[in-house]
Amino acid sequence: MGYNIAIDGPAGAGKSTIARLLAKRKGYVYVDTGAMYRALALYFLEQGIRPEDREAVVDACRKAEVAISYEDGVQQIYLNRRNVTSQIREEAVGNMASVTSAIPEVRARLLDLQRQLAKEQDVVMDGRDIGTYVLPEAQVKVYLTASVETRADRRYKELTEKGVSCDYEEIARDIQERDERDMNREVAPLRQAEDAVLVDSSDMTIEEVVEKIEGLCEG
């Protein structure tokens, strides 16, 4: 087993940004599990499947192949051999992923790939249930969070900087609803592992968060 760092937390807490920077600093492989679920969600959307149509979602899972590759050290997500890295960050994809990732068959579709990566290499993996379910034996576990207001503000700034028209209140409501779904789903709900270190990034800079987690690692 490689050296595994598991970072869990709610949507918009900065998990991907922190995990990516930490992996680069440590020389580890960064595994964005959320991107993998988003790739499946993109497939469901492209097939015109409604998130509540569980039977159709499960059936579509069998036809979707998700793979990870690294180009110039940057993770690329492939869906049925097509690079979809630039397409999976849309709000509609994220909302679909939040709903469908609660389905056991969807999680099982990606679990083996995630665990195999962690077994073969030193990884920083972020998601909703990494420390509690995917990598329960990870050497370092972190629960990264921030207030709803902070997360909504970050997302609002991110979208407006990209020239995307958006509403702060709508973003905040969306985040609260996603938290509710993630924390109360039957399969692998979002929660802090008993041995995870809580890191609230509401009043911390990105650099401070990275240094905090790096300090928890051996060597």
Type of residue numbered 17: T
Cβ atoms of residues 34 and 97 within 8 Å: yes
pLDDT by residue, tens only, the chain of 219 residues: 789 999 999 988 999 899 999 999 998 989 888 899 999 999 999 999 999 999 999 999 989 999 888 887 788 999 999 999 999 988 899 999 989 988 999 999 889 889 988 998 899 999 889 999 999 999 999 999 999 999 999 999 989 999 999 999 999 999 999 899 889 988 778 999 999 999 999 999 999 999 999 999 975
* Res 52: pLDDT: 92
2: Cβ contacts below 8 Å, ≥ 6 apart: 118, 119, 120, 121, 122, 123
- Read off the tokens for 175: 């985040």
CA distance 139 to 68: 23
Bridge-based pairing of strands 74-79 and 82-83 is: antiparallel
Cβ atoms of residues 133 and 185 within 8 Å: no
- Read off the tokens for 144: 């990264």
SS3 content of the chain, % helix, strand, coil (to 5): 50, 15, 35
CA distance 10 to 184: 12
Q: Which of 141, 207, 171 is nearest to 9 (CA)?
A: 141
Q: Is the torsion defined by CA of 171, 182, 57, 39 positive or negative?
A: positive
